A = this chain, B = another copy of it.
Amino acid sequence: MATLHQVIGNTLRQRIADGTYPPGSTIPSIIELMDEFDVARDTVRDAVARLANEGLVTPRRGIGTVVRQTSTVALAYEPGKAAAVWADQAQGGARHDMVITAEWVSPDREIRARLELGGGDTWRVLHRVRHQSKEGVVAQVVEQWIPESVVGVVSDSAGVGLADVATDAELRTDLFTLMKDGGEEPTTVTERISTRMPDPDEADALELPPGVPVLVTHRVTKRADGTPLETATMVGAGDRMSSTFTVPLSR
């Protein structure tokens, strides 16, 4: 309890916690808080900025500073399931998977390493960017890289051309099945999950208010012999996403 804006911030945080300012409501305006605590405008703004950075409130011009309410969407992995499933906490809500871009690229060092491609050759991989939405709001941005050979198998199996594979959003959910039918059955998925604050581009794409971190997931899907079939980097809105894993411990 040292500085003024810390005292003000802690007081407001307490009031949010005890329900004095319930979720969805607005806290008192800057001017009202200036009067209550007898401080200058920027001191109040510092205090409110702290709360915004903690994700507790979202200041809105012309409206007021709104107490945030969260509802998360859970993504679940379980052994034996073909792929990750949207495990809705609440009931329903329209999901949508939209392909933003799809193009053939030369993978950079990082992607080559994940796909275990040799450095000398000139590999081509299909690079797709997708937006996964829930109730009209983008919850996760997925960047996916698939080696040319795997795309060929899927393409043959599905009876569609490469262009379709590249741009068909629905193909995504069935991709693992298509791989299996083509003889490239995926057997393990490894995901590394970390978190950080979004850069401005990500905050824009995910419509993140200040103070909301992103969940970053790096995925590699492999065949039984250890051959990587695809890799993906997923950036999800921290206030709208969670990932669940169930791992067997039997030996």
Answer whether residue A77 sits at the interface, using C-beta atoms and an 8 A cutoff.
yes
Closest residue to A191 on the B side, CB-wise? B245
Stretch touching chain B among A58-66, A122-130, A158-166, A206-214: A206-214
Cα(A193)–Cα(B74), bound, Å: 9
Answer whether residue A187 sits at the interface, using C-beta atoms and an 8 A cutoff.
yes
Closest residue to A242 on the B side, CB-wise? B194
Stretch touching chain B among A28-36, A79-87, A103-111: A79-87
Asked if A54 meets B197 with Cβ closer than 8 Å, knowing A81-B249, A213-B213, A250-B80, the reply is yes
Chain B residues with CB under 8 Å of A53's CB are 53, 197, 210-211
Contact with B along A237-251 (1 / 0, CB 8 A): 011011111111111
Contact A238 B79 (CB under 8 A): no
Answer whether residue A116 sits at the interface, using C-beta atoms and an 8 A cutoff.
no
Cα(A242)–Cα(B241), bound, Å: 16
Report, as a range, how many residues of chain A touch the other chain: 35 or more
Answer whether residue A145 sits at the interface, using C-beta atoms and an 8 A cutoff.
no
Chain B residues with CB under 8 Å of A190's CB are 244-247
Cα(A195)–Cα(B242), bound, Å: 8
Return the 6 tightest CB-CB contacts between A and B, nearest first: A213-B213, A194-B242, A195-B195, A195-B238, A245-B245, A190-B246
Which residues of A come within 8 Å of B, CB atoms?
10, 13, 42, 49, 53-55, 72, 74, 77-83, 176, 186-200, 210-215, 238-239, 241-251
